[in-house]
Every structure is written in structure tokens, then in C-alpha cells.
Amino acid sequence: MTSLPSNLELRDIELRISTQPVPYREALEEMTARNARIAAGEARELIWLLEHPPVYTAGTSAAVAELLDPRFEVVEAGRGGRYTYHGPGQRIGYVLLDLKKRARDARGFVHGLEGWVIETLRDFGVETFRSEGRIGIWTTDVDGREAKIGAIGVRIRKWVTMHGFSVNVAPDLSHFTGIVPCGIDEFGVTSLKRLGKDVDLAAFDAALIARAPAFLASLESPCPPATPETTAPETGALETGAPETPA
């Protein structure tokens, strides 16, 4: 497995790669504190790539009926969205950026995250897409049906982002059956492994890092208005549908 140093520099943004699974509550506590410090001008921005031990996380729109089998710990995440599963074999990307330095466009930030993941997956021969009314990253599964391969959920406080994305590289897909993922029960979930792509996390990280400058550049301008060809992300991916009042 290709190795990467645990901490890299990406311009003036800290890029951290955790080599061991980080408990969700621990990561949430660290993210929350770092978010406040970035807003106060006391810390650098952060892109954090990691895995979690198996956990179900509940967003601000989560419905109890969508928690089908709480076989793992359930944690209220504080992000937008509904129930999501995180576990080994899934690449999590927590993105803590100060949008006051950029276009102050919450919708554009979510759109940019989606584009970053879509372009990275394309590097591995997987064509993915946005789908109107369904937040996240979608592809055509082995059975020919649409399936979700990546999830997006963010929170924006004082124009500083937190949470981010998850991509199913090679997780145990049976673990998703304990919830209705993101509240959408008519479509399944898939992974790079299920699609026949043998990709390790280090290789996926390297592709993400290579695509990061383009993602950051996309945040410099407001997101274009939504059209049928470029569907806008749902505001359900954002805390209470909008950022908290900026400082």
C-alpha cells in the first residue's frame, strides 16, 4: 500500500491524513474546536482525511423511523442531512475553510465538494454525477441501477465550514442496512470495490490531493445559477439550510 506522510502542506492549509481510525465523537470535538479557532483567526484552515470505526451519524433532518437497526453507536453530528454510516474502508474528508476569504457562497461550497469527489472518482474510471433532489455523489451500479457512492454533509458557522464528504472505497456495504441512507430508500449504495475497482485509501488520497487545487480555485467565484444541466445542491446539506450569521 502506498504510504503518504501524516501531515502535508497545501498552500497555507493544513492537510492531515490519519493512518488509524479516529472515533467519531473525538473527531467531532476536534472539528468543532478547530472551526471556532479558524473563525477567530487563531488557527489555519484544515483538510483532514480519515476513517472512523463503524458509527451511524444523525444530521439535523434525521427522522427516527429511518434508523432501522442501531447496531452501532448513533451520534448526533450537528451537520445538515439525515442518517449516514461511516466505517472502515470509507474515505472521510473533513474540510474546514474560511469562506470569508473566498466567495461567501454556501451553495457553491457544496457544489465544489461534489465536483472534487466526482473528478477524483473519474481518475479511477468511475463516472459519477449529481442527481436533482438527491444530495451526494451517484453512479451506475453493477445491476444497472443508480446507487450512491459518496455522501455530502456540511455545517457552516460564521462562514467557516466543517464536516465534508465520505466516499465508499471498500467498506462493508451491509452496514448501511441499519439505516435509510440520507433518507432515500429507493436507491442503494455502492463502492469502488463493488464496481470492480481495487483502490487503496492511499491511492485515493493521492488523487484527492492532486485535485484539491482545482477545488479550492472553484470557491473563489460564486456558484453559477442552477440549470437543468447543472443541478444545484439541496440546502439540506447545510445547517438549518444556511450558514449561521457571519461575524
pLDDT of residue 80: 79
pLDDT band at 183 (very low <50, low <70, confident <90, very high): low
pLDDT of residue 229: 37
153 is in an annotated binding site: yes
Q: Give the mean model confidence (pLDDT) for residues 163-175.
A: 97
Q: Which range is least confidently modeled, 2-6, 46-50, 243-247?
A: 243-247
Q: Give the mean model confidence (pLDDT) for residues 106-111.
A: 93
- Tens digit of pLDDT for each residue in 187-237? 789 999 999 999 999 999 999 999 999 999 999 988 766 543 333 333 333
How does the average pLDDT of the chain come out, rounded? 87
What is the β-pairing status of strands 128-131 and 55-58? unpaired
- Tens digit of pLDDT for each residue in 125-148? 999 999 877 778 999 999 999 999
85 is in an annotated binding site: yes
pLDDT of residue 33: 98
DSSP 8-class letter at 233: P
pLDDT band at 110 (very low <50, low <70, confident <90, very high): very high
pLDDT of residue 29: 97
pLDDT band at 59 (very low <50, low <70, confident <90, very high): confident
Q: Mapping DSSP to helix (H, G, I), strand (E, B) and coil, where does residue 32 land?
A: helix
- Tens digit of pLDDT for each residue in 73-92? 999 998 878 899 999 999 99
CA nearest neighbour of 35 among 78, 6, 74: 78
| In the predicted structure, residue 178 carries a pLDDT above the cut 50 | yes
Instruction: Give residues with Cβ within 8 angstroms of 160, minimum separation 6.
Output: 35, 38, 39, 96, 97, 98, 99, 100
165 is in an annotated binding site: yes
Domain boundaries, the chain: 7-241
242 is in an annotated binding site: no
pLDDT of residue 245: 37
CA distances from 199 to 22, 93, 171 (A): 21, 17, 12
24 is in an annotated binding site: no
pLDDT of residue 228: 39
Q: Which range is least confidently modeled, 53-57, 59-63, 144-148?
A: 59-63
Percentage of the chain with pLDDT > 70?
Answer: 85
Cβ count within 10 A of residue 229: 5
| In the predicted structure, residue 2 carries a pLDDT above the cut 50 | no
pLDDT of residue 246: 40
pLDDT of residue 47: 97
Which of the residues are catalytic? Answer: 182
Would you tell me which CATH number, out of the four given (1.20.1440.230, 3.40.630.10, 2.60.40.3680, 3.30.930.10), belongs to the domain 7-241? 3.30.930.10
CA atoms within 13 A on the CB side of 106: 24
